[in-house]
Amino acid sequence: MGIVIYLTYTPGVLYHLAPKRLPGIFLAIGVVFLKLYFSAAKIRYLADKEISWMASFRIMLSWDFASAVTPSTIGGAPVATYAMTRENVALGKSSAIVLYGVLLDQFWYALAVPILLMAGFYYAVLPPEIGFVGNLTMVLVYTGLLVYGGFLTYGLMVNPTSMKRIIRWIFKWPYLNKFSDKMNEEAEHLEDYSYELRDKPWPFFLKAFFFSTMSWLCRVALPVIVILSLLPAHEILLVLRSLAMNLAFLIIPTPGGSGGVEGLFAIFLGPLIDRTSFIGLAVFVWRFITYYFSIGLGIIAMAWYVNHKVVEIKENSNSDE
C-alpha cells in the first residue's frame, strides 16, 4: 500500500475531493456489514439453524480474521471449522458445512467466469497492462477454479464416501495415526451430513446459493463504491474488473493477499481512475474498511473463543482437584 501511495501521491490531492461523493464511504462501510450478514446467514442456514445469529457472526468474523492473517490460498476454513465446534457443532458436521459453503462459492466462480468471458467481447475486462503473462495467468486461475469446483462437487454431492476414504488414508500416516479413531468417527459424521445435504430439496440449495452470491456481490461492489465515492468512473467496467480482480485474489500466497491485492487494485482499477493521485487514496480507504476492519472485528470474535476456552480449562482443573 505504501508503494502504491508513494508512486501515485500528488501534494494537494485532498483538495480535489468532491464533498457530495464522500457519503459513499459510509455506504461502503454498510456493505461490509451486509457482506458479513449474508455470510453468517449462509452458515446458520446450512447448520439447519442449530446455531444462533450471534454464533454465526462469531464464526464468520473468525473466518474473515483467519483469512486476513493466513495466505489467501489457505483461507480461514480450518478456523471456521474450529469455531463451529466451539459452538457445539460436531467436527464432522462443521467440516461438511464449511466445505459446502466453499462449494457454493465455487458455483459462484463457475457462474462468474462465463460472465467475464462474454463481457470480454464488449469491454476490456482484463487491462492491457497485464500483458500475455497476465492473461495466461487469469486463464489458469479460471481453469483451476472450475476444476477444483468439480472435485469438490464430486466429493460432497456425488460420492461423499470418497471424502471419508481420503480422511482415513491421511490418518494412517505416522504421527497422525494416534488421531485415527477420533477422525474416523468424525469422517462418518462428515459422510452422513454430506448425504443429508445432498438430499436437501432444490429450494434449500437455491437459498444457500443466494446468500453466497449476495456475499460475493458485496465483495465485488466494495472497491467500486470506494472509487465512485472519490470521483466518477466507468461504472460497468469498474464492476467487471472488480469481479476479475477478486478472482485473481484467490491465488495470492501472502497473508490476506497483502502486497498482491494492492498491486492488482492499481493494475485492474487504477487505469479507470482519471486522477492518478487518487489511486493510492482509493487503495487505502478500500483496504482499511475491508482488510483492517476484518482484523479488528475478528480479534474480538477470536478473543471470545479464547476466553471461553480458558474458563473451560480452569473449570476442568478445579473439578480434578
Mean pLDDT of 121-138: 76
Share of the chain above pLDDT 70, in %: 87
Nearest residue to 270 (alpha-carbon basis) of 230, 309, 310: 230
pLDDT band at 186 (very low <50, low <70, confident <90, very high): low
List, for residues 79-98, the tens digit of each pLDDT value: 888 888 888 888 777 877 88
pLDDT computed for residue 77 by the predictor: 78
Q: Model confidence at 222, in pLDDT bands (50, 70, 90)?
A: very high
Sign of the alpha-carbon dihedral angle for 256, 257, 262, 265: negative
Residue 237, CB-side half-sphere exposure with 13 Å CA sphere: 16
Quote the pLDDT of residue 318. 66
Domain ranges of the chain: 2-320
Overall pTM > 0.85: no
Residue 73 has pLDDT above 60, yes or no: no
Whether the CB-CB separation of 229 and 27 falls below 8 Å is answered with yes
One-letter amino acid of 50: E
Assess contact for 225 and 31: CB atoms under 8 A: yes
Q: Is the pLDDT of residue 265 over 80?
A: yes
Q: What is residue 43's three-state secondary structure?
A: helix
Query: Distance (Å, rounded) from C-alpha 14 to C-alpha 1?
Result: 18
Mean pLDDT of 131-144: 74
Cα torsion through 34, 35, 36, 38, rounded to 10: 90
Euclidean distance between the first and the last CA atom of the chain, given in angstroms as a whole number: 53
| Helices 77-86 and 91-119, axial angle in degrees (round to 10) | 140
Q: Name the residue type at position 136.
A: L
Q: Are 173 and 279 in contact (CB under 8 A)?
A: no
Confidence of residue 207 (pLDDT cuts 50, 70, 90): very high
Structure confidence at residue 238 as a pLDDT band (50, 70, 90): very high
The pLDDT confidence band at residue 35, using thresholds 50, 70 and 90, is very high
The pLDDT mean for the chain works out to 81
Which range among 43-47, 53-57, 174-178 shows the weakest confidence by mean pLDDT?
174-178
